[in-house]
Amino acid sequence: MPIYEYKCNDCGHQMDKLQKISDEPLVTCPACDEDTLQKMISAAGFRLKGSGWYETDFKTGKKKQLAESDSTKPSSTPAKSAD
């Protein structure tokens, strides 16, 4: 379940609430008892894992260097042939 942030437009009280996505937004401020509570827009608190995401996402150690190692390798110049 996501955690939503709320702020009262009347008294400025801020709070976090753990709610289901299907739950109705809260409207009554617990601090001033007015119906001026609004849901705030904030960053998501979840990580996307599984197939289909970038190769280096959520990897640690040497595994995270996979993509970087391809771009940081010195370019090899073709060997000159001795005619």
Residues of the chain with pLDDT > 90, as a percent, come to 43
Please give the pLDDT value at position 58.
59
- The answer to whether 24 and 37 have CB atoms below 8 angstroms apart is no
H/E stretch holding 47: none
φ and ψ at residue 79, rounded to 5 degrees: -70, 140
Taken in order 31, 36, 45, 21, the sign of the CA dihedral is positive
> What is the reported pTM?
0.52
**Per-domain residue ranges for the chain?**
3-39
The per-residue pLDDT for range 46-65, each reduced to its tens digit, is: 666 666 656 555 566 665 55
In this prediction, residue 77 carries a pLDDT of 53
Do the Cβ atoms of 35 and 27 come closer than 8 Å? Answer: yes
CA-based nearest residue to 29, from 46, 13, 17, 42 = 13
